[in-house]
Structure 1
Amino acid sequence: MFESRWICNSFEQFHFDLFNTKSGPGFTTTKINGKFLTSQNLIHILVCLKPSIRDKDEFIDQCIKALKKDNTNLSKDIQDFRNNYTSNDALTYYTKPTFFFKLLNHGLRTCAIELLFLYRFFVRDIFDRLEENQCQHSIRVYRGQKIQKTERQQLEQSIGELISVTSFLSTSLNRKVAIQYLGDTKIQPNETNEQQMKNNSEEYILLEIDADPKCRNTPFAVIEENAAISEEQEVLFGAGSIFRLKSIRLEKQNHGYHPIWILEMELSNGNEHELKDLIYRFRYSYANEERTELSLSSLGLMLCSIQRIRFASKLFQRILRDPSLLNTVEQARCQRIMGHISSAQHHYWQSLRWYRRSLTTYTLINSKNSYSKDIASVYDAIGNVYLVRKQYRQAHISYQQSLSLWQLFYDKNQDQEEIAYCFLRQADVYLAESHLEEASELVRKGLYMLYRCHWSNTIHADLVFAHSKLGDVLVSLKLFDLAVDHYIESLIVSRKIFSEDDSFLFSIYSDLQIVCEKADRNFDQLLVDNGIPVIEDQIHVDHFRNNNGTPYQMIFKCPRCKKWQWIFTVFRPIKRWVCTGCWKKRCPRLMSYFWVLT
């Protein structure tokens, strides 16, 4: 029995995410801790989703399809699961040495969202059983594990920080049993070079975890009675458990055996101010608008935020097929989000159809103007699509309808971010139409309103974008000195918000450099005077190559307009190191031919 469970444990690798509060200058917490927050939020949504009688059948159907494709001999396990599984048996099936255990933890470790979506009923059932059998007193548990040397070094640099174990974590009350999980730690005298390299890159660790049931972040329970194998004094922690790393020390073993690193950790309730604030903001922003609870659409919104657009689209289409949502706020909301998804995929006519459907649904249910905010946001999205398609008259109409609804919802004289955004978007249309005076006036109104909204904290991304936009308008008006002032303000604030390798930050640097040349001002000296570090040209090249590059493209700085440009390498001799825009101005007829080629 112990041997079969040990084989299971070989699949259950120790995969962790760090919540790092020691962020360097210029780096945001969200940037550093994105993986940590994504795994926490995903698990929370899966556990909170309402159960459906179709969940189990859907999972089994997908398993059968996979069997037909791979011709694997797992039909007996699936048949047993179909006939005998109930929610009360979740822990029994989890601890059985079957593919359920292996696939589930693989999905949690790799954040395989489509796989975890199928497992959602199983994850929820395990959490329910752990909560029912929650330990009522403090315990110390152990777990033996092999990890990569680089991972151990990363943990050593994170003492005092929070660690999230993304999968379910099996531990033992018995220290000797946990050490047995490490396998044979004896140093083999006749190892091949390949074996020596592998052993040098892997290290043995023993987790010593103190868990207090007062920490209600994630349930944990002794599962001997419910487990398929009940001889290991096993304690199971729910997926996404958060621990604080207290210390790491090296414990030497007998001569001829590998040393073991001891990691002392304690269960955390996750109530640290910064972490709690980020998770609360997520749960509020993705909650159902009527009942402030998480639903399938919450999962879809999270998928959009991490750029998993294709699966998000499938999920929202699945939601919209539910007949119970006909003429409800949830239906209108999902139609609106489908419009956003289609627009992100550059399917603009399709996105307009979704937005119009959303407007129709909101109109049917909009008693006493209850959803005027939502309707305003739909008109705003329609205006964005028309602006991209250069249909400026329709864009003006949509933005004006949005502005009227926001002003109806709020007091006309009340400063609100949404009204400021309307001014800025209308300014985009005027700028595209080359109506520069009108654009300048609207951007100034929007910027002034944003300052009044954020008077208590002027370090805000909205102000960065507004200053940058006003700089663009002033450049078009050839007021270069004023444009420099706004670009500098945008750059100062953006360096406190965005990470140092953010593409928007690079674009502000580039725009400021161009305007400084037009205004006859020393770019490097201007940066020094304002305490802004100079970015070398090679950093620009490395950044663009790492984030956008392909083997067929290269990045270069146009000597005429000073902008950073992508070109296909085969056209480098033809373009003679002048960018597309500059060459088009010099030779428009010839350029139109190469524009088609590139």
Structure 2
Amino acid sequence: MDTKKSHIPRKADYFGHNTEKKPITASSAGYTKHSRHEKSGAVSGDSHIAHSDKKKSGADSSVTSSGHDTKTKSTTSKQNTEKTTTTITTAAASSTALRARRSRIVQNYLVVWLDANIDEKKEHFQKSLVELRKIVVTLDLFTDVDQCIEYLKRIDGQKIFLITSGSLGKKTVPLIHDVAQLDTIFVFCINKDLHKVWAKEWSKVKGVHGTIKSICKRLIKATRLCDHDAIPMSFVPKQIVAEGAAGPDQKNLDQLPATYMYSVIFKDIILEINDDDKKSMKPLVNFCQQQKVSETELKEFKHKYRDRSAVWWYTKPMFLYGMLNRALRTLDMEGMTKLGFFIRSLHRQLEQLHRQQSANFQTALTVYRGQGMSKEDFQNLFNSKGGLLSFNNFLSTSKKQKVATSFVQDALERNPHIVGVMFIMTIDPSKISTSITPFAMIDEHSALPQEQEILFTMHTVFRIDEITQTPSNSRLWEVQLTITDESDPQLSTLTNRIKEEVSGERWYRMGKLMLKVGHFDQAEELYDELLKGASDDSDRAFIHHQLGGIKDSQGKYPEAAKFYEKSLNVYEQILSPNDPKLATMYNDIGLLYHNMGEYSKALEFYEKANKIYVISLPPAHPDLATSYSNIGQVYNNMGEYSKALEYLEKSLKINEISLP
């Protein structure tokens, strides 16, 4: 019999232990130089680099339906006068530094520069860095091949663009070409003819370049395509949609993709908060400064934010677009909370523009979006025919199919292992609510006007009608979609069920959902953020208890004990001695000590919980049965079998009455 943990009370929600752990990689910023005098750290075994045969194409581009939209949003602000700094990584700190940098990436991609002759003191090199940092935030420098390979192997969740000298590139490319996250390689050498022959043998190598400006020109297009194909999606098969909306069975909801539920709840939270933009600006600026975002761009954003619309800032080539899209893709809770006011403003502006443009939306229209998808994501899409597709980000489309075609063609040319998808979307304004799913033509409001671009709010949902392979290209598929929202009775029922299941106050709802689906790392990040803004002892005690439960679930028992103790110290002061909330807390602390093998302490807290349950609960309540079972099991572990039998029999009697 397993030791059971009863539910912990919270602000309208409960901590649920789920053994499925799905950490999402974090991000980094700045750039770091790695000296060739460092010794390479141990190579991580979870990202194998295979020696490649020549003429190999790129590895499967598994940008997991995440991140960005169709516009060219590369960071091209003026930074010529801006200074940059370099961090030197020592050999002893190598592995730690690699992990730390990954936790600060704020875009979907980073640039790695490998060259034995890197010298950041030289003026021409500083100018090259300035040009590159107009496009990317994260720029890592290496002079040693082994250090570079170790770093490439450790990156997960971001695309890598590699700049390499000709001599080191010829040696290194065969060793790294099949690294999945390595998107594109640029060879940088004055003597271009010396390296053109071998460079043509590798599909990821996009030319030999004699100037950094030539590389930057190609890099802008590459980052644009990376962002475009990385828009986060959720696929919900037809059967799951029907079952989820059919009845109260919890199992039906558990089959829903976690990302779909996140998108529903996050949008709900953002739109119900009404914080002042000016008040919210300072935390965002401070956060961006910590991420090494350009001071020039930050200054412009801070001082001129009210002079422009949210759509204009969203479409401007600067840090904001990439940071927003990456935060939504990776569930970066710190980024999501800091950017919440901007997301809300962008949604509100789309509402306003839609009302102003209502005369243009009297009848159904068709819009297009072309992109590349990994084979895995396309298979998920294909398996969901008749079900739902949610774009969990702001969605850029065009009324002109040729614009969408250019994107999908570029994607197919870039990577022979991806699937090209042309989304053909039917939009009937009469079947959706403009407050839930606003969309608008934004050319007149964009910092980069496109051809008849229509922008949809985040979490726009479509029915997947037809999926057909094009006769002219076996790698290109057309997907017919029809927009829908909560005006659809089935979708409305499903959405309401999600909201009812994940009830609570604002960000606490998101925390509850993360715990429900077993995303403990993300939940910890969120509660850390909530703790910074907690207004009273009760809120702090609640958050400390949540953090204790997370550490408990991660098997970090000493850390869990510290958080539980902080929480309990407050709750014992503010709750009555027989409050059932105290009982559940005692029970959880007892379980913690039980797992640690400290049976006498476990028994102490189990008995405290049991005393309250006996007073406050009906004699046949399931929680009372759990309490007796826990005491019986700890006695069993202590070798006191007669007492163990006594309490286990009490538990059995209650279960025989209360269980169906």
Report 1:580-591 matches (<5 A).
none
Q: 1:249 to 1:360 in 2, by over 3 A?
A: same
Runs of 4+ in 1 over 6 A off after TM superposition: 5-9, 256-259
Question: Following TM superposition, by how much is the alpha carbon of 1:45 offset from its aligned partner in structure 2, in angstroms?
Answer: 3.8
Q: CA RMSD in A?
A: 3.9
Query: Residue 283 of structure 1 aligns with which residue?
Result: 502
Q: Deviations over 1:193-216 (max 9, x none)?
A: xx6x93464324132232446534
Q: Could you tell me whether the CA contact under 8 Å between 1:245 and 1:265 is conserved in 2?
A: yes
Q: Write the mapping of 1:207-356 to structure 2, written as runs, cut at 5 A.
A: 207-212=424-429, 214-216=431-433, 218-224=436-442, 225-230=444-449, 232-250=451-469, 261-269=478-486, 271-272=490-491, 275-276=494-495, 279-284=498-503, 287=504, 293-295=505-507, 297-305=508-516, 307-309=518-520, 312-313=523-524, 315-322=526-533, 324-326=535-537, 328=538, 330-356=539-565
Q: Say yes or no: does 1:359 pair with 2:576.
A: no
Deviations 1:494-553 (A, max 9, x none): xxxxxxxxxxxxxxxxxxxxxxxxxxxxxxxxxxxxxxxxxxxxxxxxxxxxxxxxxxxx
Q: What amino acid does structure 2 have at the position aligned with 1:241?
A: T
1:144 partner SS: strand
- Equivalent residue runs for 1:514-533 within 5 Å: none
| Alignment counterpart, residue 286 of structure 2, candidates 61, 76, 81 | 61
Residues 259 and 427 of structure 1: is their aligned pair in 2 closer, same or farther, counting only changes over 3 Å?
closer
Question: 1:88 touches 1:129 (CA, 8 Å); kept in 2?
Answer: no
Report deviation, 1:113. Answer: 3.6
Please give the per-residue CA displacement for 1:137-194, whole angstroms capped at 9, x wherever unaligned: 5643412312237244442332111111122111234445544554579x9xxxxxxx
Q: Which residue of 1 aligns with 2:228?
A: 12
Asked if 1 retains the 8 angstrom alpha-carbon contact of 2:378 and 2:419, the reply is no
Decide whether aligned partners of structure 1 residues 379 and 62 sit closer, same or farther in structure 2, where only a CA change above 3 A counts: same
Change in Cα spacing, 1:210 to 1:436, as seen in structure 2 (3 Å) is: farther
TM-score normalised by the chain length of structure 1: 0.60
Q: Is the 8 A contact 1:220 1:235 kept in 2?
A: no
Q: Which one is further off, 55-64 or 340-349?
A: 340-349
Choose which of 136, 148, 151 in structure 1 pairs with 2:373.
148
- Larger displacement relative to structure 2 (395-404 or 375-384): 395-404
Which amino acid letter does the alignment assign opposite residue 232 of structure 1? E
Distance 1:353 1:425, change over 3 A: same
Q: Secondary structure at the match of 1:242?
A: strand
Deviation string for 1:299-354 (max 9, x for gaps)?
4444444555455445434544547313x3x2331122232234345554553443
Aligned to 1:395, which of 602, 608, 615? 602
- 2:587 pairs with 1:380: yes
Q: Does 1:417 find its partner at 2:622? A: yes
- TM-superposition CA deviations, 1:84-138 (whole Å, max 9, x none): 1139722221122333223322332343444333322222222232334445656
Q: Deviations over 1:61-80 (max 9, x none)?
A: 33233337xxxxx4433221
Partner of 1:37: 261
Q: For residues 640 and 320 of structure 2, what CA distance do their matches in structure 1 show?
A: 62
Gaps of 5+ in 1: 69-73, 188-194, 288-292, 456-598
Between 1 and 2, higher relative CO (CA 8 Å, sep ≥ 6) is seen in: 2
Alignment identity in percent?
A: 19
Q: What is the DSSP-based 3-state SS (H/G/I as helix, E as strand, rest coil) of the residue aligned with 1:85?
A: helix
The one-letter code matched in structure 2 to 1:378 is: M
1:375, CA displacement in angstroms?
A: 1.4
- Per the TM alignment, residue 282 of structure 1 is displaced from its structure 2 partner at its CA by 3.9
1:409 partner amino acid: S
User: Counterpart amino acid of 2:423?
Assistant: L
- Which structure has the larger Rg? 1
Query: SS at 1:67's partner residue?
Result: coil
Does residue 323 of structure 2 align to residue 103 of structure 1?
yes
Structure with the higher fraction of residues in helix conformation: 1
Q: Give how far 1:244 is off.
A: 1.3
Counterparts of 1:463-502 in structure 2, within 5 Å, are none
C-alpha distance in 1 between matches for 2:569 and 2:343: 38
Corresponding position of 1:169: 395
Distance 1:207 1:9, change over 3 A: farther
Moved more, 229-238 or 152-161: 229-238
The question of whether the paired residues in 2 share the 8 Å contact of 1:141 and 1:173 is answered with yes
Aligned partner letter, 1:165 = F
Number of equivalenced pairs: 421
The 3 A distance-change label for structure 1 pair 80 and 379 is same
